[in-house]
Amino acid sequence: MIISVASGKGGTGKTLVATSLALSLRERDKVQLLDCDVEEPNDHIFLKPVFTRSEAVAIPVPEVNEEKCTHCGKCAEVCAYNAIAVMKQKVLVFPELCHGCGACGYLCPEKAISEEAKEIGVVESGSSDGIGFVHGKLAVGEVMAPPVIRQVKEHISREGTVIIDVSPGTSCPVVEAVKDSDFCLLVTEPTPFGLNDLVLAVETVRVLNIPCGIVLNRAGVGDGKVEEYCQKENIPVLLTIPLDTEIASFYSRGVPLVEGMPQWKVSFLGLSDKIREIVNERSSDTER
């Protein structure tokens, strides 16, 4: 089962939920935690994994063989991203605009374009106390997170439970991380900002046709509008975590909630049971 942990708004507690869920579940299941927030990965701060492997993430960008090139301009014409400009004597390639689709090389009539790998990040994998751990890091100054996320997800094992920590927002990196999940947990807080961004996140997972449920974090601040919305939209609130200085203090020091306050383990196991129930119900519905 693949559970992604997303939010819309940043800083609502995705990392807290993803790490505590992984730590609670490992006692009864094989667990893998994938940190797909490749712009700002934080799970490693809490789980302190030992990394055994590191792979570069590269995207193919065109390299033009000027000896073969006749400057016909076909490559620039087919490039949808304006990543190639053909001058009279020279071809200019802008690797930071290239999406690596490969059209230019395939369509070059002179076969003058080959591809070279441009490194945009790294994927590190290892383990932390029995939890399989993988994360990706987009290199500073690079723009394209999705290829790094795709490479992290290549490590998904089909056994046990896979937990994916997602970046905030609703655009391509979120879609890339969340798609193919069996369930998406949306972590939010009971404020107008939390609600506004939750609505966007719910729309996103609905486009992807993934069932979702809510973790309401910092309950007690703000107002009751998130709960009203969830009720109206028939989205289950699966876990409520109160605003609590002790919880915030453990978080600030990089201590997972269920390690600092082990009494929370039961709640996270209950959360996982509820998710499993929803996922099983849904798959038996589709079979029928």
Partner 1 sequence: MKEVVILSGKGGTGKTSIVGSFAALAQKKVLADCDVDAADLHLLLNPSITEENEFWSGQVAVIDDEECTQCGLCQDVCRFDAIKDFRVDPVPCEGCGFCSHICPVEAITMKESLSGHWFISDTKYGHLVHARLGIAQENSGKLVALVRQQAKQIAKRDGLDFIISDGPPGIGCPVISSLSGANLALLVTEPTLSGIHDLERVRGVCHHFGIPALVCVNKYDLNEDNTHQIENYCLNQGVEVAARVPFDNTVTEAIVQGLPVVEYSPGRVTQEIESLWQHVTRALEQ
Residues that bind partner 1 (CB under 8 A): 7-12, 15, 37, 39-40, 42, 45, 78, 80-81, 99-103, 106-107, 138, 140-145, 167-175, 179, 191-193, 196-197, 200-201, 203-204, 207-208, 221-223, 245, 248-249, 251-254
Q: How far is CA 180 from the centre of its chain?
A: 12
| Minimal distance, residue 138 CB to partner 1, in Å | 6
At closest approach, how far in Å is the CB of 49 from partner 1?
15
Between residues 7 and 272, which has the closer beta carbon with respect to partner 1? 7
Kindly tell me which of 145 and 163 has the beta carbon lying closer to partner 1. 145
CA dist 62 and 56 (Å) reads: 18
Q: For the purposes of burial, counting CB atoms within 10 Å of the CB of 243, is it exposed (0-12), middle (13-18) or buried (19 or more)?
A: middle
Phi-psi region of 7 (alpha: psi -120 to 50; beta: other; left: phi over 0): alpha
Q: Which helix (H) or strand (E) holds 170?
A: none
Give 82 or 280: the residue with its C-beta nearer to partner 1: 82
Phi, psi of 83 (to 5 degrees): -90, -5
* Distance of closest approach, residue 266 Cβ to partner 1, in angstroms: 25
Residue 115 CB partners (closer than 8 Å, separation 6+): 60, 61, 62, 63, 100, 102, 105
d(CA 288, CA 284): 6
Nearer to partner 1, 11 or 211 (CB): 11
> Where does the chain have alpha helices with state H?
14-25, 43-47, 74-78, 103-107, 146-153, 172-178, 192-207, 225-233, 245-252, 257-260, 265-287
In the complex, least distance from residue 282 CB atom to partner 1, rounded to whole angstroms = 20
In the complex, least distance from residue 38 CB atom to partner 1, rounded to whole angstroms: 8
Smallest gap from residue 119 Cβ to partner 1 (A) = 15
Q: Which is nearer to partner 1, 69 or 175 (CB)?
A: 175
Q: How far is the CB of 100 from partner 1 (least distance, A)?
A: 7
Q: Under a CB-based contact definition with an 8 Å cutoff, are residues 21 and 268 in contact?
A: yes
Report, in Å, the least distance between residue 196 CB and partner 1: 6
Between 201 and 257, whose beta carbon lies closer to partner 1? 201
Residue 124 or 272 with smaller CB distance to partner 1: 124
Q: For residues 209 and 232, what is the distance between their CA atoms, to the nearest angstrom?
A: 19
* Residue closer to partner 1, measured from CB, 30 or 193: 193
Dihedral sign for Cα atoms in the order 67, 71, 72, 76: positive
